[in-house]
Amino acid sequence: MVTKGAPDVLLTRCRFERVGSGVRELTDQRRAEILADVDRLSDQALRTLAVAYRPLPDTDAPKADSTLEHELVHAGVVGIIDPPRPEAADAVAEARKAGVRTVMITGDHPRTAARIATSLGITGPGALARTGLELDRLDEEELRRTVQEVSVYARVAPEHKLRIVDALQADGHIVAMTGDGVNDAPALKSADIGIAMGITGTEVTKEAAKMILADDNFATIVVAVREGRAIFANIRKFLHYLLSSNIGEVLTVFGGVVAASLIGLDVAGGGIVAPLLATQILWVNLLTDTGPALAMGVDPPTEDMMSQPPRAMTDRIIDREMQLSVLLVGVVMAAATLLTTDLKLPGGLIRSKRGLDDSVERRIDLAMDGRGEVGTGMKELVVLGFASREPAEEARSRGAELDRDGALRCTPGPPPGAAAGTAWGSPRNIPEAARRSWLRRGPGRPPRPPRGGGCRWRRRPAGWRRPARPAARRRRRAGPPQRSRPRTPPPGAATSCGR
C-alpha cells in the first residue's frame, strides 16, 4: 500500500524510513531533519508532499480504512512548484486600492502559504500564517480579532473556513468566498457571494455558489467589481441628470407664476402668461433629456473607479448629497431661465424704465396699421405680456388705452400739438413738433384713428369737399359707372367719419 499527504502529518504515522535499498527505524533526529527540509522547500514557495508505503501479505486485499495507514515506511518528500498566474499580483493590488481585502485560505504548508501570499502582495514580508490547529484554540471573540489582522490561513479544514467566513460577516464585512471542492460548499453557501470555479469546480460547489467563474481566474473577479461599480455610477449619473432637469422645469413654471408681476409675465385683468408651454416642456424632455441620459447610462468606467472606497449595503442610490446637488442644479436652471425671460420682457426687474418706454413706443407704433387699426403686431404685443401696468400708462399718454380684456385700442382725438382745423388722420398734416412730442424718440409713424364709430373730425374750412372714391371702387358698384358729385359738409358742422 502506498500513501501520500502532508509531511508533518504523514511522519507521525511512519515508523521506518527507506535508505537506499534498505529500511531502518525512523528516529526523532531524522524526523527533525526531514521537517527542516520541508521548511526549506516551503520557503521557496514549493508545495511539499510526503510519500510512504506499507508492505502487505500476499492475500486478499484488506478493507480500505484508516487503520491501514500505520506502521508506514517513509519513502521521501516531493517539492512541487505551483506558480500563481502573472496577472494575479496586479489583480490583488488593484483590489487593495479599491478597498477589497484578499484573504488566502489553503491546505498547504504554512510557510508555503506565507511565501506565496508575500509574492502576490496579500501580506507583507515576514507575515505568518495561522493554522487550523491554532484556530481550534480560539473562542469566537478571539477569532473575530484574529480575522481582522491575519490574511493567510494554512492547514485548515472545512469547518475552519466556515468559522472564518462567519467571523468576517459578524464584523460587518461583505464576504465573497471562492472554492472548487466539495469541502468548500458550506463556506460558499454561508458567504454573501459564493464563487465556484467553472473548470475545476465540482457540481456540488457550483450548486452551492451564487456565481460561477468561467476561467478560474482571480483577475476576472476584480474586473467584475470594476464593471459593477461603473454600472452603479452610470445609474446615479442618469438619475441625477433627469431629476435636475425636471426639477429645473418645475421650478421655472412655479417661479414664473409666483413672480409674474416682477418679471413682466402678468397682463391686465389678472392674467398670467406661462413661462413654459406644455409643448416646450415636451420638447425639452424629448430632445435634451432622453439622448444625453441614455448616453450617460453606457459610459465606460473612469480611471479612478477602483480608487474609490466600497459603499455600504445600507447606502441608497439617491442619497442626501445627490438630493442637494439635484436641488441646486434645478434652482440654477430655473433662475437662469426666469432672468433671461425678465431681460427680454418689459416691466421686469432688469430693464430700465427708459428702455421700457422705448420698447412700448415702438410696439404701439408697429401695432397700428396705416388706418389706425390694431394689427397683428398689437396681438403680439398683448400675447407676449407687454400690456403690463407701466406700459399701459405710457400707452394712454401716447394715444392708446386698454380695454377690459387688456387689449390696446386707439383713443379718439388728435395728438397733442396738432393744428386746429386739419385732418389729423394723415401723418403729413401733423406738424413735426407735435410728432416729436407724441413719440419722443426716433422716427415713427403716428397711428391714425380707427375706422368706424368713436372717431371725430375737426371743423373744416368752407368749401372743403370729400375726395372722390378711386375708380376701382366705383367699378364694384352695380350698373354703369356714374360720376358722383362730391358731398360737402355744411359750414360750421362736425361730421362723423366712416365709409
CATH number of the domain enclosing 147: 3.40.50.1000
| The last residue of a domain, from among 223, 240, 256 | 223
Place of cell 407724441: 438
Task: Name residues whose C-beta falls within 8 Å of residue 210's C-beta, 6 or more positions apart in sequence.
Answer: 193, 194, 195
Judgement on whether residues 203 and 229 belong to the same structural domain of the protein = no
**Residue 357, burial from CB neighbour count under 10 angstroms (0-12, 13-18, 19+):** middle
| The last residue of a domain, from among 81, 111, 143 | 81
Judgement on whether residues 297 and 411 belong to the same structural domain of the protein = no
The verdict on residue 481 lying in a domain is no
Q: 118 lies in which domain range?
A: 88-223
Length of the chain: 499
**pLDDT of the residue at 465:** 63
pLDDT by residue, tens only, the chain of 499 residues:
889 988 988 998 999 999 888 899 999 999 999 999 998 988 888 889 999 998 888 777 777 777 788 889 999 999 988 888 889 999 999 999 999 999 999 888 888 899 899 989 999 888 889 999 999 999 999 999 999 999 999 989 999 999 999 999 998 899 999 999 899 999 999 999 999 999 999 999 999 999 999 999 999 999 999 999 999 999 999 999 999 999 999 999 888 888 887 777 776 566 777 788 888 888 888 888 888 888 888 888 888 888 888 888 888 889 999 999 999 999 999 999 888 888 877 666 665 444 444 544 454 454 444 444 444 333 333 333 333 334 445 544 544 444 444 444 444 444 444 444 444 444 444 444 444 444 443 444 444 444 444 444 444 555 656 666 555 555 555 455 555 555 555 555 444 444 3
Judgement on whether residues 107 and 216 belong to the same structural domain of the protein = yes
Backbone angles phi and psi of 67, in degrees to 5 = -70, -20
**pLDDT of the residue at 218:** 92
CATH number for the domain harbouring residue 59:
3.40.1110.10
| The last residue of a domain, from among 292, 324, 344 | 344
The verdict on residue 469 lying in a domain is no
The verdict on residue 470 lying in a domain is no
Q: State the Cα–Cα distance between residues 264 and 278, nearest whole angstrom.
A: 20
Judgement on whether residues 102 and 164 belong to the same structural domain of the protein = yes
The verdict on residue 467 lying in a domain is no
- Look at the chain and report how many structural domains it folds into: 4
Judgement on whether residues 217 and 242 belong to the same structural domain of the protein = no
The answer to whether 110 and 320 have CB atoms below 8 angstroms apart is: no
The verdict on residue 473 lying in a domain is no
**Residue 193, burial from CB neighbour count under 10 angstroms (0-12, 13-18, 19+):** middle
The verdict on residue 474 lying in a domain is no
The verdict on residue 121 lying in a domain is yes
The verdict on residue 326 lying in a domain is yes
Judgement on whether residues 205 and 233 belong to the same structural domain of the protein = no
